[in-house]
Amino acid sequence: MSDQVRIIEVGPRDGLQNEKTPISVADRVAFIEALVAAGCPVVEVGSFVSPKAVPQMAGSDEVLRAVDHHPGREFHVLVPNEKGYDAAIAAGARVVAVFASASEGFSRANINCTIAESIERFRPVLARAKADGIKVRGYVSCVLGCPYDGDVKPAAVASVAKTLWEQGCYEISLGDTIGVGTPARARALLRTVATEVPAERLAMHFHDTYGQALANIYAGLEEGVRVIDSAAGGLGGCPYAPGATGNVATEDVVYMLEGMGLGTGIDMAGLLAATNTVSGLIGRPPVSRVAAALNAKAKATARA
Ligand code: HMG
Ligand code: MG
């Protein structure tokens, strides 16, 4: 199994989409550039969704135009339909992500349609992306539980993941949107989905609402999954998943992976600097345990 893990840093999108205080385009760009400077190979930088639905992501076109598209850097954006795809491409997107749900309740709340209708909306996006040479990532939300429908069966997740994979998504990111999973269930889920999509094409997108995300990721690593979505400082949440808190913190993931001898290419000091900057902008300390520990250590050292 590979000793390299690919981190998809979703803080500028999943993190900031749920913040009460809107963050300016200039500050979002500075945050993204700080993450890139810290060695984050992929950063999800925004969403081309209705600004009425998610005002925090307005200006994602300006963000995408402003970031430095140096070779080797990959910037992702969410697109829910062709309108979003058009806008994303016009702003220079090379990788887009479509997002479906494994549960009907969340699909309706989040994107105002059934799962089947969402797949129909993605079909032309995927066809056009193929013709345009654009990579498409596929999200499946509510893989371990839904805030509206409750329990979600692994087979339901596998079915949506299979459809997105067969339609041409290069990778399927499995979202524990409300962070309710535990390791045995995460493992069982990944085993079921891996019967339809190869494990090396799966990503773990685990929110940490119940403090289980790192344990779930550890189980997933044992299953051979090597792509992890995380957010600097543990930012995040979804406006349509009431009560859900942030993504697993990138600092916590990188610290655990380093301890396991797994590489990410991310420099912890640079990452912490990016986190502390955004934390100042939102007016809250990072929820990441590793960031808190390193900040406390730095303070103690400065005092000594
Ligand atoms: P709708 O109301 O069904 O769509 O919304 P519509 O086609 O009827 O359009 C309604 C209005 O939205 C119109 O504007 C459209 O022009 C506009 P109006 O005439 O009222 O002024 N519109 C758009 N504007 C900009 N960009 C677009 C676009 N499409 C339509 N692409 C829609 C459907 C999906 C647009 C809406 O429900 C929406 O924007 N939802 C937001 C969804 C969202 O961003 N959720 C958070 C991200 S998902 C997430 O966080 C989960 C994830 O992290 C994984 C996990 O944790 O599980 C990925
Ligand atoms: Mg999410």
* pLDDT tens digits, one per residue of 40-87: 999 999 999 999 999 999 999 999 999 999 998 999 999 999 999 999
Q: Which residues surround ligand 2, an ion (CB under 5 A)?
A: 14
HEC string for the chain: CCCECEEEECHHHHHHHHCCCCCCHHHHHHHHHHHHHCCCCEEEEEECCCCCCCHHHCCHHHHHHHCCCCCCCEEEEECCCHHHHHHHHHCCCCEEEEEEECCHHHHHHHHCCCHHHHHHHHHHHHHHHHHHCCEEEEEEECCCCECCCECCCHHHHHHHHHHHHHCCCCEEEEEECCCCCCHHHHHHHHHHHCCCCCHHHEEEEEECCCCCHHHHHHHHHHCCCCEEEEEHHHCCCCCCCCCCCCECEHHHHHHHHHHCCCECCCCHHHHHHHHHHHHHHHCCCCCCHHHHHHHHHHHHHHHC
**What is the mean pLDDT of the segment spanning 30-37?**
98
CB 181 within 8 A of CB 145: yes
Task: Give me ligand 2 centre to Cα 6, in Å.
Answer: 17
Ordered by start, the domain boundaries in the chain are: 6-303
238 part of the active site: yes
Q: Which of 44, 50, 122, 174 to mutate to test the pocket of ligand 1 (most atoms within 8 A of CB)?
A: 50
Which ligand 1 atom sits closest to the C-alpha of 85?
31
Tell me if 40 sits within 8 A of 7, measured CB to CB: yes
Query: For the domain 6-303, what is the CATH superfamily, name and number?
Result: Aldolase class I (3.20.20.70)
* Mean pLDDT computed over every residue of the chain: 96
| 22 CA from centroid of ligand 1 (Å) | 18
Q: pLDDT by residue (tens digit) across 222-269?
A: 999 999 999 999 998 777 888 888 999 999 999 999 999 999 999 999
| pTM confidence score | 0.97
Given CA atoms 101, 105, 111, 115 in this order, what sign does their dihedral have? positive
Q: Tell me what the mean pLDDT of segment 161-165 comes to.
A: 98
Q: How far is the CA of 274 from the centre of ligand 1 (A)?
A: 29
Q: What is the number of the ligand 1 atom nearest to the C-alpha of 173?
A: 54
Residue linked to tokens 């400065």: 302
Look at residue 1 and tell me whether its pLDDT is greater than 70: no
CA of 80 to the centre of ligand 1 (A): 6
Instruction: From the CA of 111, give the closest atom in ligand 1.
Output: 37
Ligand nearest to the CA of 58: 1
Rounded to the nearest whole angstrom, what is the distance from the C-alpha of residue 303 to the centroid of ligand 2? 38
Nearest residue (by CA) to ligand 1, atom 53, is 14
Structure tokens at 197: 């999509």
User: What does the CA dihedral 61, 65, 69, 74 come to, rounded to 10 degrees?
Assistant: -10
Q: Whose CA is nearest to atom 11 of ligand 1?
A: 50
For ligand 1, atom 49, the nearest C-alpha belongs to 238
CA of 176, nearest ligand number: 1
Q: Is the pLDDT of residue 170 over 70?
A: yes
* Cβ(101)–Cβ(118) below 8 Å: yes
**HEC string of 76-131?**
EEECCCHHHHHHHHHCCCCEEEEEEECCHHHHHHHHCCCHHHHHHHHHHHHHHHHH
Q: Does 191 have pLDDT greater than 80?
A: yes
Q: How far is CA 141 from CA 109, 110, 272, in A?
A: 12, 10, 28
Q: Which residues line ligand 1 (CB under 6 A)?
A: 14, 17, 47-50, 53-54, 78, 80-81, 83-84, 99, 110-112, 139, 141, 175, 177, 205, 207, 238, 240
Q: How far is CA 110 from CA 103, 206, 215, in A?
A: 11, 18, 27
